[in-house]
Structure 1
Amino acid sequence: MTDIWAGLDELSGSLADLYRDLHQHPELSLQEYRTARLVADALRPLGFEVTEQVGGTGVVGLLRNGDGPVVMLRADFDALPVLEETGLPYASSTRAAGPDGGTVPVMHACGHDMHAACLVGAATLLSRAPDTWSGTLLVVFQPAEELARGARDMVADGLFTRFPAPSIVLGQHVGPLPAGVIGHASGPVMAASDTAKVVLYGRGGHGSRPEAAIDPVLMAANVVTRLQGIVAREVPPAETAVVTVGRLQAGTKENVIPGTAELGINVRSYTPAVRALVRAAIERIVNAEATASAAPRPPDITWASGAPVLVSDPAATEATVAAFNGHFGAGRLMPMPLITASEDVGVFGEAAGAPTVFWFWGGLDTETVLGALAEGRIDSLPSNHSGAFAPVIEPTLSTGVQALTLAARTWLGAGR
């Protein structure tokens, strides 16, 4: 039987080149045209049936290898409007049109370039060793994860009707752990994310005559303050939630009371009950403040579709982590706490009616991490969404490729 790891060292060089290319040429969510072309071109010579433009810029690869289960491997590949500060020779200098029409810097500050390169690597190893497994391999390169909509867009575009529905969904995320370390958790691992856009209506006027106006800025300030009481006083202490007002916009001039104020509110939660409680509390507070301020009309509250709670199926996670333990050894595995960031990969498992297994792996230089821990400055380490975050290429790349390959082999049928 073929050694599935044969040629990994040689493959790592070309994957590193792909990673550096993706890192140097990042593309914002819904604009990932070049990235999609690169990964599609990498899959075709491997024998995959490749379909582009699924759910926008998504790429789907299908490799059939006899009877057996359908196993899905997923990677996201969009970048962020972040200015790169790494100083790397392959750092991004890309600028692009942002969602508001202005020009913004673009960077792979969340490691999605590493995700895509690792999935190409796993697809390559599995395609080269067809006698080691049987079934159907479904590889999905997802756009717009940073908008928490790419997975829904692909499902809405017929991902599981145009292609075989998987019996399991597997994914991973690089983060600020020591490179080569696998982080795992079972059950809820990442929070649900909901976003609300709120428009408060006042009555504009001259700043010198506030009695003739209804000030939406004061209204918005009171809402922001009052919202902080939801987690402190309404969510049970044993539960977890986060309420963030990330945007407050009002007015154009210091001596003009504007007619409206806008808030952008983000919520993180882990259970349907807390999610519903927090959303209802936000609406109650916003409406009550508008009433208390004698607003001329009720506020507009618009909820955007967010990411669901990411649940790593306990039984499937146990089997996958056991495979990791057998290959990497217990010394390279570590349990993870609950993470209040969010991921939309769970949408795929929900839509397919299949379990999801999701894990993390490290991308920071090990000595740097250990030094920061020893000196009590762990918060100084660059993390996802930071302009200073860029995984070291090795052993990050090889570890990510091996983890995806091992996970796929755990769930595909036995080889010939």
Structure 2
Amino acid sequence: MTAARLTHELTADLKGAGLEDFYRDLHRHPELSMREHRTSATLAARLRAAGYETTEAVGVTGVVGVLRNGEGPTVMLRGDMDALPVQEATGLAYASEHDGVMHACGHDLHVTWLVGAAETLAAGRDTWSGTLVIVGQPGEETGEGARAMVADGLHTRFPRPDAVFGQHVAPGPKGLYSHTPGLTMSASTEVDIVIHGIGGHGSRPESTVDPIVTAAYVVTRLQAVVAREIAAKDSAVLTVGRFHAGSKNNIIPAEARLGLTLRSQSPRVQQQLVAGIRRMVAGECSAAGCARPPEITVGNEFPVTVNDAALDQKVAAVHTEVFGAGSVFDFGPAMGSEDFSRLAPDGVPYDFWHVPATPDSTWSAAPGADLEEKFGNVPGNHSPLFAPDPAVITPGVQAMVAAALTTLV
């Protein structure tokens, strides 16, 4: 039996699995990166009940479930678990009960898909042969989680996979599945900057070195790194997401702090961006006569995500068979970033795709004449209004099950 036909057979009764209630519960109880204690315990309980050898606290709050089912290949399925420091504004009946914390990136849906796929494949174990490794990953948003799990023995304590699969919810019309062979997501680097001025009274600016003015010049000047130092053929984004300085209207502070994110599609361009930032910030601070050189700290880094082309084409073909002609499309490389690729040991192929989940009414009301225009006019990941349609729970599980079966049957 083909992977597509077997997927339909195994998921025929999926709606009775209580997954929507599970999803709503997760959405109500979001947890920040590396603090996903309730989420990981909930996931671990479902995996144990389905017959998986389950290990908790892998890489702080990570969960690994292993189901050995005879001779055959080993498949790893991953779902990330962390939420974001975002105040929810969806108005959903099952909105977050934790003030200032929200599943604004849809990782609650990812865990739900993971549970649904794990339970489905366990229940249908007489139809395939091999080993399943289910990974509930913490800390994707901060870039800590995959690295922590690998450091804690993910690649040595548990069966080595022959293929690794993951999927991510995205804005867009339901019923589509975005597959990109090769480069699919970009590298990302966080940079923190502290500018040291000389503080004083707002009435005597001549006795100070104002770090706010210097930081403002830095913010505008940094845009030239992309505009004038990166070749037009290379994609790059430099965003200043934080600017903190001062405590009172009539006080010139002693320092200003900036937080940046850099994104590109190659390590070479990332290095160019960091080098340009260091040079320009140092130059502005020197020109302003700052008290001392700036502090520039390179923080969390995400690698590029490069799908194995052959594996992606294989999974895309099965998804087309499962969901119908025209359901699979190639959106091209995105500027978003992921740490998913770190879960695949060196040389092991992996595939990562996206599942659009915007409610029909929201998508229909969005201005725009085509997919790309509308895409930019609906709430996306990290928005306080991001609210995936629960109707994608069943097809999302089917997509993961189908991917696993491409290797297990």
Q: Does 1:63 align with 2:61?
A: no
Q: Compute the displacement of 1:93 (Å).
A: 2.5
**How far off its partner does 1:230 sit?**
0.9
User: Residue 37 of structure 1 corresponds to which residue in structure 2?
Assistant: 41
1:26 pairs with 2:30? yes
Q: 2:382 aligns with which of 376, 380, 385?
A: 385
Q: Is contact 1:165-1:352 (8 Å) kept?
A: no
Counterpart pick for 2:404 among 383, 401, 408: 408
CA distance in 2, matches of 1:250, 1:113: 35
1:167 maps to a residue whose letter is D
Structure 1 partner of 2:14: 11
CA deviation after TM superposition for structure 1 residue 326, in Å? 2.0
Q: Report the AA paired with residue 352 of structure 2.
A: F
Name which of 83, 88, 97 aligns with 2:87. 83
Pair 1:299-2:294 in alignment = yes
Matched residue, 1:120: 115
8 Å contact kept, 2:175–2:323: no
Aligned to 1:362: 356
Question: Please, which moves more after superposition, 1-10 or 201-210?
Answer: 1-10
Aligned to 2:146: 151
SS at match of 2:43: helix
Gaps (5+ residues) in structure 1? 96-104
Please show how residues 131-146 of structure 1 align to structure 2 within 5 Å.
131-146=126-141
Q: Is the 8 A contact 1:4 1:132 kept in 2?
A: no
Q: Distance in 1 between matches of 2:287 and 2:22?
A: 57
> Does 2:285 correspond to 1:290?
yes
Please tell me whether the aligned partners of residues 32 and 57 of structure 1 are also in contact (alpha carbons under 8 angstroms): yes
Deviation string, structure 1 residues 54-112 (Cα, Å, up to 9, x no partner): 111111000111122221100011111222222222122222xxxxxxxxx22111111
| Bigger Cα displacement from structure 2, 168-177 vs 293-302 | 293-302
SS of the residue 2:301 aligns to: coil
| Alpha-carbon separation, structure 1, partners of 2:293 and 2:399 | 52
How many residues end up aligned between the 2 structures? 402
Contact 1:230/1:281 (8 A) holds in 2 = yes
Distance 2:15 2:135 in 1: 21
The residue type equivalent to 2:405 in the other structure is R
Q: Distance in 1 between matches of 2:216 and 2:354?
A: 38
One of 267, 271, 274 as aligned partner of 2:262: 267
The answer for the alignment partner of 2:51 in structure 1 is 47
The one-letter amino acid of 1:407's match is A
- Select which of 394, 397, 415 maps to 2:393: 397
The Cα RMSD (Å) is 1.9
Give the Å deviation of 1:387.
Answer: 1.9
Deviations 1:290-317 (A, max 9, x none): 2212222211111113111111121211
Question: How far apart, in 2, do the equivalents of 1:210 and 1:187 lie?
Answer: 54
| SS of residue in 2 equivalent to 1:339 | coil
Does the aligned pair in 1 maintain the 2:142–2:300 contact within 8 Å? no
Q: Give structure 2 stretches of 5+ with no counterpart.
A: none
Contact 1:76 1:112 in 2 (8 A): yes
Task: Report the CA distance between 1:353 and its aligned residue.
Answer: 3.3
- Cα pair distance change 1:256/1:164, threshold 3 Å: same
**What amino acid is aligned across from residue 135 of structure 1 in structure 2?**
G
Distance 2:233 2:170 in 1: 27
- SS of residue matched to 2:21: helix
Name 1:109's counterpart in structure 2: 104
Matched, 1:249 2:249: no
Asked if 1:278 corresponds to 2:273, the answer is yes
TM-score, normalization by structure 1: 0.92
Specify whether residues 303 and 327 from structure 1 end up closer, same or farther in structure 2 by C-alpha distance, changes over 3 A only. same
**Change in 2 beyond 3 A, CA 1:46/1:216:** same
Matched, 1:372 2:375: no
Q: Identity over the aligned pairs, expressed in percent?
A: 49
How many angstroms apart in 1 are the aligned matches of 2:25 and 2:333? 33
1:182 and 1:361 in contact (8 A); partners too: yes
d(CA) in 2 for partners of 1:374, 1:307: 32
Partners in 2 of 1:106 and 1:160 — Cα distance? 32
